[in-house]
Amino acid sequence: MEMDFERCYRAVDSRDQRFDGWFYTGVTSTGIYCRPSCPAITPKRQNVRFFPSAAAAQGAGLRACRRCRPDATPGSPLWDVRADVVGRAMRLIADGVVDRDGVPGLASRLGYTERHLHRMLSAEMGAGPLALARAQRAQTARILIETTDLGMAEIAFAAGFGSVRQFNDTLREVYASAPSDLRTARGRQQAPAGSGTIALRLAYRPPLHARALLDFFAVRALPGVEEVRDGTYHRGLRLPHGTGQVALTPADGHVAATLRLADLRDLAPAVARCRRLLDLDADPAAVDATLAADPAFAPAVAAEPGIRVPRAVDGFEMAVRAIIGQQVSVASARTTLTRLLTTTAPQVDHEVVVTGVGVSRQQLHDHRGEGGPFGGPGELRGFLSAEELLSLPDSGFGMPVGRRETLRGLARAVVDGAVNLAAGVDREETARRLLALPGIGPWTANYLAMRTFGDPDVLLSTDLAVRRGAAALGLPHTPTTLAAYADRWRPWRSYATIRLWRAA
């Protein structure tokens, strides 16, 4: 990643939050690295170096600033815009693939040798896959130290470290503090949320139009899986090592997230999926500037800045929603999905297991009352899996035979590995494989590209609600004329689609 020194230095001098996550500032005179918006005195030019990742700064021997916490910045929006190998690798590393499958597993998913992958990441990010994963493990460990009362050994393995010694050495190197010192200092930062829960802040680049996100999720919420209540979005999660629940509450400058996990090794994947769900790594200033240049969008952008693309935590779930939602209303799709879910109700097990080290089930039940973040109507579970869908009888679908068989064809393709709907897939190849399945057309493939795979430049020009929104704004509203007109919104046509839906 090429960085212009003058541009980066001006961003640091102005403490511009919009650049947090784009790059990191290394201060050679103090041996620390910071986010661009760090409130400390601007360092002298001769003492400054800029890095494309926290891992690169750590590799140069710098430690994280305790004041601005550079490891807690939003991720770079490049990984949504870019669909190349480096972008895909960064999404997979954030989802914990290196911790689960190692660098060989990451390279296998991307279709490259380990050596070539290391070369590409080092050239772009200033660090290889192991160093990038190590930086993420350090951040996960710090969160667990500061927000739980777990022992250090449990935290070490939950964060993905191979040994307690490796855990201690890494935290001393990254934070210049022993793990026990981080826990002692947590009173100045954030007290533990309570037994069995993990509370943290998800940073974003302002502005964030939180109400638009909550409204979108509320009208599509599936009973038993998700709900919007009192300004908070609650949902169940299906994660690599088990299940979980999350409560997401938008606040000033961050989204408050409270997690309850069946296995604490799922913390990093859960955080990555929640960030994707709310599109928190987007660059709203760049998006809004492009769309506001069109007089048709200018009033809406001024009135509602920071509109995001509501995304997904589960690729298979979103594919099922898209297939059922073809050519029917949102309310009708929700009714059909609810019937599908009531046919099978997987049990939720919230006993924490950290590589064989159990934490008592009672700890995780302490916050199920009305006063905690998970108080309310009842347990939420993750969406059904492909295997569970294939086990359903015909009577459980409640839809035409053709659509039912499309769902089964998709589920078989997922189970067989012919279609991969996880983070970091090749968007174009996945679209081709989806379109090869009977019953899946361009609208469904494009809808998944936008909401599941994070493509920021998708226009659903044949969508009825999009066309109605375009007509309401005085724009061309036939599929062909709208698609031609929308070229001026590149590369942010997905965000234009969301605004057209709101206009409708």
Name the CA dihedral angle for 65, 160, 100, 54, rounded to a multiple of 10 degrees.
10
Which residues lie closer than 8 Å to 301 by C-beta, 6 or more apart? 288, 291, 292, 499
Polymer length of the chain: 504
Termini Cα distance of the chain: 40
Phi and psi angles of residue 244, each rounded to the nearest 5 degrees, phi first: -170, 175
Helix H or strand E segment including 142: helix 129-147
CB 357 within 8 A of CB 364: no
Name the CA dihedral angle for 472, 473, 474, 478, rounded to a multiple of 10 degrees.
-70
Q: Which of 480, 165, 218, 167 is nearest to 330 (CA)?
A: 218
E-assigned strand segments in 285-412: 353-354, 357-358
Helix H or strand E segment including 465: helix 464-472
Report the SS3 class of residue 504: coil
Active site residue ranges = 34, 463
Dihedral sign of CA atoms 312, 315, 317, 323 in order: positive
How many Cα atoms within 13 Å fall on the side-chain side of residue 60?
Answer: 23
- C-alpha span between 44 and 445 (Å, rounded): 50
Report the SS3 class of residue 322: helix
- C-alpha span between 257 and 138 (Å, rounded): 19
